Chains A and B, each alone.
Chain A
């Protein structure tokens, strides 16, 4: 649920065996082929667990609150991990919604080549 009009989808993958994954993979864990993508940014999720990390690598905000969340899509659950927006306080069981961020960490100062991967994505914001 992004305020950015041009935000890309939070793309999950549905496979022939009915399973869904985030991020996307060429095949499901069971080896089934991908059939369609699903935009998770239109859905809310439940916090499964979280941590506030104080020892962060170069280019990462400090502290960095991160959560694993679970979406329910047509009776199938799919989990995602990501930063909590504004390092907001969350608890297990809280409802959150995805919010788009153009840059999650500074690509220029870590060990990875900046061009080797994308750096935008979705944080999770409590709905209450």
Chain B
């Protein structure tokens, strides 16, 4: 089978932006097309990963809007909403469009405009994905994280500092990402002294609310060399869903969607966790980095926290995780995040990650929707 290649990528500045979703999407799309030197009329499929442009600013129909703005009419368009994993689901949709032969040039753009809402309003929009039995109690994604972190620390006798070290590492990485929302190092004490948000988790255990967009361009590997000297291929990808009601899972410290999607991706790629050399994980909350490391086989169950002391996941460690700064410092514009994760791994694969560059030919992304409700895992490799 002709493999699916990624031949172009872009990411806009993440943070508080003075533009709305329309311009965010257009900016990433145009920069991505420029990056690959592909004309808009070559686009056959156009996917937009976006969770809630209607709820955030009252703008629907964003794929159609974008297709017209960038000159991609009459490309097939589709909006991909899978909550926080909309970006990863977009990567999966784009991959399917090429792998199936339905398209020979697919543009994926992920974006979200959020910062004009108050924190409470944005939290409520995101919490609307919960089951009614959860929503009526005021459950939020941060509160799920707080309960899971408490259970994890209790069950595995992990020190609270280990979570703070995730934030410290990812903030450090974000300093070298010019598009990151926060480019500021922090120390463990700062993280541990920050205000409580969902006990035992504090402000620095959470990603910010963010505006931003990112894009990727896909085509069959057989035509990739026409457009790019350096490109990457998606060698494995999988997606899975867990219970809608979070407390119905057998073990609150295991995200089955991570495990299942990871197994699918490894099997398709013919690889194992030991083969992964760099990874972008969905650190919307610090505890999620541990849960994904364990679910993806990078650490034994309940032992991911020990890797923080070993330095394994630092940029110069054996398995660098979140070289982009992660959602934690880079920011989390919902629909863009999964795309931006893949942008980082793409740049790592083609050797264009600048000061963040690590020595890696195989990378992995894990994009988590809800609180592990839906997960996409993808493996990208540098083309030979």
Nearest opposing residue in chain B for A84, CB measure:
B137
Question: In the assembly, what is the distance between CA of A21 and CA of B244, in Å?
Answer: 12
User: Do A53 and B247 contact each other (CB < 8 Å), given the known contacts A82-B137, A111-B128?
Assistant: no
Interface of chain B residues 173 through 224 with chain A (CB within 8 A): 195-201
Interface size class for chain A? 35 or more
Question: In the assembly, what is the distance between CA of A61 and CA of B135, in Å?
Answer: 13
| Chain A residues within 8 Å of B269, by CB | none
Query: Which residue in B120, B151, B201 is a CB contact (below 8 Å) of A49?
Result: B151
Closest CB-CB distance, B297 to chain A, in whole Å?
Answer: 24
Nearest opposing residue in chain B for A70, CB measure:
B247
Most buried by A among B55, B134, B146: B146
Cβ–Cβ contact B136 & A104, under 8 A: yes
Query: Which residue in A52, A58, A118, A121 is a CB contact (below 8 Å) of B196?
Result: A52
User: Is A99 on the interface with B (CB-CB < 8 A)?
Assistant: no
User: Do A49 and B198 contact each other (CB < 8 Å), given the known contacts A57-B127, A110-B124?
Assistant: no
Query: Which residue in A64, A79, A83, A105 is a CB contact (below 8 Å) of B247?
Result: A79
Question: In the assembly, what is the distance between CA of A118 and CA of B131, in Å?
Answer: 12
User: Do A81 and B140 contact each other (CB < 8 Å), given the known contacts A57-B120, A111-B124?
Assistant: no
Interface size class for chain B? 35 or more
B108-139 vs A, Cβ < 8 Å mask (1 yes, 0 no): 00000000000111011101100111111111
| Chain B residues within 8 Å of A58, by CB | 120-121, 124
User: Do A57 and B143 contact each other (CB < 8 Å), given the known contacts A49-B150, A79-B247?
Assistant: no
| Chain A residues within 8 Å of B137, by CB | 64, 66, 81-83, 104-105, 121
Closest CB-CB distance, B197 to chain A, in whole Å?
Answer: 5
| Chain B residues within 8 Å of A121, by CB | 133, 136-137
Question: In the assembly, what is the distance between CA of A56 and CA of B132, in Å?
Answer: 16
Cβ–Cβ contact A55 & B147, under 8 A: no
Interface of chain A residues 85 through 104 with chain B (CB within 8 A): 92, 104
Question: In the assembly, what is the distance between CA of A58 and CA of B128, in Å?
Answer: 12
Nearest opposing residue in chain A for B131, CB measure:
A23
User: Is B68 on the interface with A (CB-CB < 8 A)?
Assistant: no
User: Is A32 on the interface with B (CB-CB < 8 A)?
Assistant: no
Question: In the assembly, what is the distance between CA of A105 and CA of B139, in Å?
Answer: 11
Cβ–Cβ contact B138 & A56, under 8 A: yes
Question: In the assembly, what is the distance between CA of A40 and CA of B336, in Å?
Answer: 42
Question: In the assembly, what is the distance between CA of A78 and CA of B120, in Å?
Answer: 31
Question: In the assembly, what is the distance between CA of A37 and CA of B123, in Å?
Answer: 33
Cβ–Cβ contact A54 & B154, under 8 A: no
| Chain B residues within 8 Å of A48, by CB | 151, 252
User: Do A57 and B247 contact each other (CB < 8 Å), given the known contacts A48-B252, A51-B150, A111-B128?
Assistant: no
User: Do A54 and B246 contact each other (CB < 8 Å), given the known contacts A49-B252, A104-B136?
Assistant: no
User: Do A118 and B125 contact each other (CB < 8 Å), given the known contacts A49-B148, A54-B198?
Assistant: no
Cβ–Cβ contact B124 & A81, under 8 A: no
Question: In the assembly, what is the distance between CA of A67 and CA of B120, in Å?
Answer: 21
Instruction: Provide a sorted-by-A list of 24 A–B residue pairs whose CB atoms are within 8 angstroms.
Output: A21-B248, A23-B131, A48-B151, A49-B148, A51-B146, A51-B199, A52-B198, A52-B199, A53-B198, A53-B199, A55-B123, A55-B140, A57-B121, A57-B138, A58-B120, A58-B124, A67-B147, A81-B137, A92-B154, A105-B136, A105-B138, A111-B124, A117-B132, A121-B137
7 nearest interchain CB pairs?
A: A51-B146, A60-B138, A57-B124, A117-B132, A49-B151, A23-B133, A53-B143
Task: Give 7 A-B pairs besides A55-B120, A57-B124, A79-B248 with Cβ atoms closer than 8 angstroms.
Answer: A49-B147, A57-B120, A58-B121, A83-B137, A104-B138, A118-B136, A120-B136
